[in-house]
Structure 1
């Protein structure tokens, strides 16, 4: 991704995970004040990629449980923050769970709304699973909007954005809420991308998969295996990459239906491969009858991460961070629309404050 905007507006992000939303908003022009996350491996990922980088100067990575987090520790005067963003936990609204909504102890929408009240940012962006927009949660959504309106915000939109429409080689619909203070909301334009050709798994992973097979060039099967994979991988985008829960076994590419979809793309979904420099079992990782397994780095490419964003922790922990991430290109697109609204409001303010030019009589 390429950042076109100056790093001009400030952001605080909760439930930052491995940084998918943070990366996207950074590329949209938001300068992060803090990234707040409870998982220690994800926090290390954030630190490893931001500390010492001039691009991320001033960004604090805070490992904390939001339910007991004191926003005063951020040192921000209410009303000075531009954007409060976050992907609050999705199990309360996920079709894969029980969809308990507000009755689920993992529901952090009330916590998010308290932070909005405390920090009084100019804009709010919340990401979640598409299930949140199901009819059964209409009253829940209406209650959230009423609370935001009582704090001076206007809903810009609450809609489902599909990752594949933003150049991400994956089916990943996400429910996105954007709300802004009323003086900025009037300038917000919600535009979805025009229909365009989607990026296939083959296109996204060509170089990295080519490098993996080249590393095994001593095996006479390498060239034919690569061609076989590539032909299948060009057929389309990937199913949703899932991170899974710490309560369940090792990493793989999802339930049975997802594994079948991966198989159609030439990828074995029964586990995650080691990175090329760590690979010891070529049969398992690269030459299985079902095709190659993906590495964590390749799964991150399917999510839309830049290749230089590295993930900390053991393989399973790193893969879960990737699978639970918000695709950076989608976050970037939403962030750019928020940024544009701020800029439009600023231009209007400057125009209104400009002195009137009067002509002097000759």
Structure 2
């Protein structure tokens, strides 16, 4: 099967879109309201149609190409655990989720993918949201599959659990199976970053990498309304410290030859990662560039969906669409 087309809303820095492209999907339209994210997308893929617009203001009737797509995908801002369908209009995250479901009403893709917090899959606090989605999509002929994937199982050196909804038109549902892990062993932070840590001649790069044996804790992009870039909250910073990394900031460059790595001396003796290294920990290829200043770049990276997960998901969706297509002239489409 060829020529599978998708629309990606709340596309951010393009992690999910890139993964779907790697799985053989062609983007028809990418939408995001943040100028810096749109600049990132246009810089890396000048041929993609990128629309800078809030999803809440998007009218598909003005973009007729979105009506003929196989897949509608959305890596949405994280819905809060306290959210319910009966909420105030100030709950922007839930409004975006609802807007995505209503867009599926208009676009009628064969498959809808929503990526969000893992608790959305089965936590009781999210039952009203799941019920809303089910009621809105059921009469359109969709069946829903909820599951959680961990990016570490797909070669990403990060413990990042993602809640996924894949809603499929009924004729495709039985053929879809969530992607299985693609690696037998998780890739550690030391393995992933050793080479980049040594690029300026840091003599302790190998020694540091040899003890950084865990996957990274979940990178958190944080809010646009608070201060500069750091690697997460208190517990996350402690996990980084156990690997000799200062999680309280993001570096402008990797260590030089004279840097003395001595975690016993506190933060000043710890190494710091760069935005480029954060992108590696998210599974982005090294030639994918991010627009904006350091904090803006890091936030795009921290909010992104890891491309290897998007690729695995795209391949699973592609397989389902292929398997459920009727034979043509006596032949079954190749996978």
The answer to whether TM tops 0.5 is yes
Q: 2:193 aligns with which of 193, 205, 218?
A: 205
Relative distance call for 1:195 and 1:353 in structure 2 (3 A) is: closer
Q: 1:100 aligns with which of 78, 83, 86?
A: 83
**Counterparts in 2 of 1:158-197, with a 5 A limit?**
158-193=146-181, 196-197=184-185
Separation (CA, whole Å) in 1 of partners of 2:171 and 2:220: 38
Aligned length: 323
Separation (CA, whole Å) in 2 of partners of 1:130 and 1:101: 16
Q: Are residue 274 (structure 1) and residue 261 (structure 2) matched? A: no
Q: Are residue 333 (structure 1) and residue 312 (structure 2) matched? A: yes
Relative distance call for 1:30 and 1:206 in structure 2 (3 A) is: same
Q: 1:148 aligns with which of 110, 129, 137?
A: 137
Q: Helix, strand or coil for the counterpart of 1:179? A: strand
Q: 1:67 aligns with which of 49, 56, 63?
A: 56
Separation (CA, whole Å) in 1 of partners of 2:2 and 2:306: 20
- C-alpha displacement of 1:342: 1.3
Relative distance call for 1:24 and 1:245 in structure 2 (3 A) is: same
- C-alpha displacement of 1:209: 1.1
**Counterparts in 2 of 1:78-97, with a 5 A limit?**
78=67, 80-93=68-81
Relative distance call for 1:327 and 1:150 in structure 2 (3 A) is: same
Two-structure CA RMSD over aligned residues (Å): 2.5
Separation (CA, whole Å) in 1 of partners of 2:16 and 2:112: 13
Relative distance call for 1:68 and 1:191 in structure 2 (3 A) is: closer
Unaligned runs of 5+ in 1: 1-5, 52-56, 94-98, 215-221, 355-362
Relative distance call for 1:171 and 1:353 in structure 2 (3 A) is: closer
- C-alpha displacement of 1:337: 0.6
Please report the TM-score for the alignment, with normalisation by the length of structure 1. Answer: 0.83
Please report the TM-score for the alignment, with normalisation by the length of structure 2. Answer: 0.90
Q: Helix, strand or coil for the counterpart of 1:76? A: helix
Q: Are residue 263 (structure 1) and residue 241 (structure 2) matched? A: yes
Q: Are residue 240 (structure 1) and residue 218 (structure 2) matched? A: yes
Q: Helix, strand or coil for the counterpart of 1:349? A: coil
2:277 alignment partner in structure 1: 298
1:310 alignment partner in structure 2: 289
- C-alpha displacement of 1:312: 0.3
1:357 alignment partner in structure 2: none
2:120 alignment partner in structure 1: 132
**Greater CA drift, 267-276 or 323-332:** 267-276
- C-alpha displacement of 1:265: 1.6
1:11 alignment partner in structure 2: 6
Relative distance call for 1:76 and 1:270 in structure 2 (3 A) is: same
**Counterparts in 2 of 1:23-62, with a 5 A limit?**
23-51=18-46, 57=47, 59-62=48-51
Separation (CA, whole Å) in 2 of partners of 1:350 and 1:265: 56
Unaligned runs of 5+ in 2: none
- C-alpha displacement of 1:236: 1.1
Q: Larger Cα Rg: Structure 1 or Structure 2?
A: 1
Separation (CA, whole Å) in 2 of partners of 1:285 and 1:315: 24
Separation (CA, whole Å) in 2 of partners of 1:147 and 1:343: 26
Deviations 1:21-47 (A, max 9, x none): 111111111100111001111110001
1:359 alignment partner in structure 2: none
Deviations 1:157-194 (A, max 9, x none): 20111111111111111100101111222321234327
Separation (CA, whole Å) in 1 of partners of 2:147 and 2:230: 29
Contact 2:158 2:215 in 1 (8 A): yes
Relative distance call for 1:110 and 1:193 in structure 2 (3 A) is: same
Structure 1: which 4+ aligned runs deviate by more than 3 Å? 282-290, 351-354
